[in-house]
Amino acid sequence: MKILVATEKPFAKVAIDGIREVVENAGYELALLEKYTDKQQLLEAVANADALIVRSDIVDGEVLDAAKKLQIVVRAGAGYDNIDLEAATAHHVVAMNTPGQNSNAVAELALGMMVMAVRNMYNGTSGTELKGKKLGIHAFGNVGRNVARIAKGFGMEVFAYDAYCPDDVMLQSEVTPVHSANELYRTCDIVSLHIPATAETRNSINRALVSQMPKGALLVNTARKEVINEPELLQLMQERTDLRYVTDIMPVADADFRQFEGRYFATPKKMGAQTAEANINAGIAAAKQIVDFIENGNTKFQVNK
Ligand code: 3PG
């Protein structure tokens, strides 16, 4: 049984050690394809793999066609928009994610990016504090809940909107539920995005929504670039010189956004989940899910049902 870890953005070595232990204890073989630069390398590496662990690596029909022996692909992380689920099902490949395993890392980065923005990108001028500010969490999943927990430590007033999450879950975390995205953006000084990239959310963070935010507003994106309507956000930032955007996912129009120096920042490479802890948690969970699927048929975390 051959398990391939194919990561264009590699895990920490300590996570690979942990993955190897799980794989070898099960009597399987581990293969590594890290920092690949060409899809062809993935197509070749996957040819004799029975199971595949990826991060944001694209697993499309071509990859699945090349993976003649593949039984299971696990996205070591939360968002699985990089996997063509229909193609996986058509190829009789089970697709899974590892929900919650890297969420604290992403949440810590979201708060870190907020501090950076309100302290004027650390340029030495007088900024503001997070304490007492209204934070809007857009989607109250695993990352959103961790953001709420940390933000409360900063003394922020925390609100959340999530069409799929009951109010009492938010209330238990002492978060004020609001019942529309419009209300969240109207209410909050800072909005932190934690929505997945789906057909429903693509381009949904648009001018109509963001323009409702109060003066001096800050939008923080540690979710996906696809959810932003970039042309509309660009136009709005041109009109509203108070509006700030910090993102862990570089926009397609990064060059255009750079005109807003001091109000715009993008990490060069998505690094929300790039911690040893998150790599260990998500990587080892992925390896264990593969072993449990192959040995016992456990499909608990399957996302292409
Ligand atoms: C996720 O969906 O789990 C995060 O966006 C992390 O993605 P990454 O593994 O590509 O860093």
Q: Could you report the per-residue pLDDT of 118-147, keeping only the tens digit for each?
A: 999 999 999 999 999 999 999 999 999 999
Distance 235 CA to ligand 1 centre (A): 28
Mutate to test the pocket of ligand 1, among 270, 275, 277 (most ligand atoms within 8 A of CB): 270
Distance 223 CA to ligand 1 centre (A): 9
Mutate to test the pocket of ligand 1, among 57, 102, 146 (most ligand atoms within 8 A of CB): 102
For the chain, the C-alpha Rg in angstroms (whole number) is 20
**Which residues in the chain come in under a pLDDT of 70?**
none
Residue 305, pLDDT score? 82
Query: Strand runs (DSSP E) across the chain, as ranges?
Result: 2-7, 29-34, 51-54, 72-75, 94-97, 134-138, 157-161, 176-177, 190-193, 218-221, 244-247, 264-266
Q: Cα–Cα distance between 209 and 152 in angstroms, integer?
A: 25
Q: Whose CA is nearest to atom 6 of ligand 1?
A: 273
Mutate to test the pocket of ligand 1, among 56, 59, 98, 220 (most ligand atoms within 8 A of CB): 56
Q: Is the CB of 222 under 6 A from ligand 1?
A: no
Q: Whose CA is nearest to atom 10 of ligand 1?
A: 56
What angle (nearest 5°) sits at the alpha carbon of residue 77, between those of residues 291 and 64?
Answer: 65
The closest of 43, 22, 25, 23 to 33, measured between CA atoms, is 43
pLDDT digits (tens, 9 = 90+) for 253-273: 999 999 999 999 999 999 999
Q: Is the CB of 79 under 6 A from ligand 1?
A: yes
Claim: this prediction has a pTM higher than 0.95: yes
Q: Is the CB of 91 under 6 A from ligand 1?
A: no
- CA-CA-CA-CA dihedral for 46, 74, 271, 34, to nearest 10: -20
H or E segment and range at residue 159: strand 157-161
Distance 191 CA to ligand 1 centre (A): 20
The structure tokens 């794989």 sit at 23
Neighbours of 131 (CB within 10 A): 9
